[in-house]
Amino acid sequence: MSNAAQAYARTSTTTASPREIEAQALLKAARQLQEVQTNWTGPCAEMNNALLFNRRLWSIFLSAAQADENQQPLEVRQNIANIGVFVLKQTVDMQLNPDPAKLKSLIDINCNLAAGLSGRG
């Protein structure tokens, strides 16, 4: 990558709002999960990596939803927590009983939430 491209990437990252950053992270996780589903040949390192990235992302959302300093209304925080718990359960289920069809709900949740964060929902 050229120095100009690196500088632009740094600038675009630092000027993005937290909502935009969250939306991009959700879309990245959705793309990784979609890639696993599209190219399914059975459980593989890519599946584990995609599930790990998604689980870490949702763990961050869960922690933020539970944080005392979170300014979101309680109902919004509870909704995020409920979705996060569902995502984590689905992830464990996918790891224990791999099935590409199970990825659809995780992909849909991430895409829908990203759209909402980006104002496209």
Domain residue ranges of the chain, discontinuous segments joined by +:
19-117
Query: 1-36: per-residue pLDDT in tens?
Result: 556 556 555 555 556 788 899 999 999 999 999 999
Asked whether the whole model's pTM tops 0.85, one would answer: no
Task: Give 67-106 pLDDT, tens digit per residue.
Answer: 989 898 999 999 999 999 999 999 999 999 999 999 999 9
Count Cβ atoms below 10 Å from residue 14 Cβ, excluding itself. 7
The CATH topology of domain 19-117 is Four Helix Bundle (Hemerythrin (Met), subunit A) (1.20.120)
Q: What is the pLDDT of residues 24-71, one digit of tens each?
A: 999 999 999 999 999 999 999 999 999 999 999 999 999 999 998 989
Nearest Cα to Cα of residue 92 among 38, 64, 66, 54: 54
